[in-house]
């Protein structure tokens, strides 16, 4: 394996960086805008979450506040919806939309939404793959420079491990889009927001969804880069 300081495949990192920055900027703008606009109902993110849980007769899921910004998530193992303080206590369009989105994940779990079940199954191995992939590739490169003929075993293992992480980002896409659709339907059917407010919620959730699209795109480009760099090395 010859040493190189630059490989043409490294150019793939440029669109990957641009996509990631663009997605973060878009969600940042949408969140900043709609976190300042209150909903006419006056409901907080927490109250929206509890309303949805009561409506669906789900009694074994807790809603709690956690520090940080955009740290909102649903933990299916603990059965807890964790909302950032601004969303938990907030009465804005952004707070209501994000809270409803996380409850969309609760409904996916409760009703056995298949892509979410698949994501839960592959998460442990994909997380392990994400953590091990580049250390394994790095070890392989070092061994190659030392003249160890079996270096490719480590490189290949690293690429396979990273492929698991890529698969996780891809299966995450339908899960996130579906949760947003559920959120919009619940808010609309329950008349918890006006049509104008619903449009704002949709803008926030679409921007948030783009961050997952960007993550998948970046991961795929990185995988393609690795495959190009190490092709014909077996």
Residue with tokens 């926030």: 204
Domain count, the chain: 1
Catalytic center residues: 102
76 domain residue, yes or no: no
Of 80, 88, 83, 95, whose CA–CA distance to 34 is shortest? 95
pLDDT per position as a tens digit, 17-42: 898 899 999 999 999 999 999 999 99
72 domain residue, yes or no: no
Q: How far apart are CA 152 and CA 137, in angstroms?
A: 9
61 domain residue, yes or no: no
Regarding pTM above 0.75, the answer is yes
69 domain residue, yes or no: no
pLDDT per position as a tens digit, 3-19: 445 678 888 889 888 98
Strands (E), the chain: 62-66, 73-75, 80-84
pLDDT per position as a tens digit, 168-204: 999 999 999 999 999 999 999 999 999 999 999 999 9
87 domain residue, yes or no: no
Burial tier of 141 (Cβ tally within 10 Å: 0-12, 13-18, 19+): middle
195 domain residue, yes or no: yes
73 domain residue, yes or no: no
159 domain residue, yes or no: yes
Which residue segment(s) compose the domain that 144 sits in? 10-37+101-229
Q: How far apart are CA 20 and CA 199, in angstroms?
A: 24
């Amino acid at each position: 394996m010859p040493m190189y300081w630059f490989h043409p495949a490294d150019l793939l990192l440029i669109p990957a960086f641009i996509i990631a920055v663009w997605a973060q900027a878009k969600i940042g703008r949408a969140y900043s805008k709609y976190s300042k606009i209150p909903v006419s109902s006056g409901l907080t993110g927490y109250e929206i979450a509890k309303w949805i849980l009561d409506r669906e007769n789900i009694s074994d899921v807790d809603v709690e506040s956690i520090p940080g910004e955009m740290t909102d998530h649903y933990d299916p193992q603990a059965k807890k919806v964790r909302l950032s303080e601004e969303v938990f206590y907030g009465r804005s369009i952004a707070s209501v939309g994000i809270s409803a989105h996380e409850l969309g994940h609760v409904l996916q779990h409760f009703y056995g939404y298949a892509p979410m079940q698949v994501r839960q199954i592959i998460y442990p191995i994909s997380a392990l793959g994400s953590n091990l992939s580049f250390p394994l590739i790095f070890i392989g490169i070092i061994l190659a420079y030392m003249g160890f003929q079996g270096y490719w075993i480590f490189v290949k293992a690293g690429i396979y491990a990273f492929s698991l992480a890529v698969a996780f980002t891809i299966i995450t896409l339908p899960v996130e889009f579906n949760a947003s659709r559920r959120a919009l339907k619940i808010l609309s059917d329950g008349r918890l927001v006006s049509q104008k407010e619903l449009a704002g919620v949709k803008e926030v959730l679409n921007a948030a969804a783009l961050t997952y699209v960007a993550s998948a795109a970046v991961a795929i480009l990185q995988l393609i880069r690795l495959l190009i760099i190490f092709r014909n090395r077996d």
